[in-house]
A = this chain, B = another copy of it.
């Protein structure tokens, strides 16, 4: 169970409810996931984290599904179980198909492999890659 438990909507302060409401409106859902309910004991961090993620995940030069793919890729690479579960769901909602998931995980795997080969063999950066 989360360190301090989960703050359900009915038990939440007005300040927390405002964030919950914005999460539900922005994501067009009636569900607030446990991550936010666990953060809600600290309304300052809840608000700051939500505002940051909202800003970062809004479609821009990258579209919504690409952004979710990147989020899932980092979470899988970091082996964060909660984040893998929640962002697999989020990526699917944003349009990730099974075929896209397969290719994503294959890249995450190979990048982790080649990262260690590059570091393990102490490969120096090519002159032309030094920006």
Q: Which residues of A contact B (CB under 8 A)?
A: 1-5, 31, 33-35, 38-39, 41-42, 44-45, 48-49, 52-53, 55-57, 60-62, 66-67, 69-71, 73-86, 88-89, 97-126, 128-131
Contact = CB atoms under 8 A, between A and B. Distances in A.
Contact of A35 (B41, B101, B105, B114): B114
Question: Top 8 nearest A-B pairs by Cβ distance?
Answer: A76-B120, A61-B99, A42-B102, A74-B111, A80-B115, A113-B113, A109-B113, A85-B129
The complex is assembled from copies of this chain, and their number is 6
B89 A128 contact: yes
Nearest to A87: B111
B104 A70 contact: yes
22 contacts: A1-B130, A33-B126, A45-B105, A49-B113, A56-B109, A57-B107, A61-B102, A66-B69, A76-B119, A77-B77, A79-B80, A80-B115, A80-B119, A85-B129, A85-B130, A86-B129, A88-B122, A88-B131, A105-B116, A108-B120, A112-B113, A112-B116
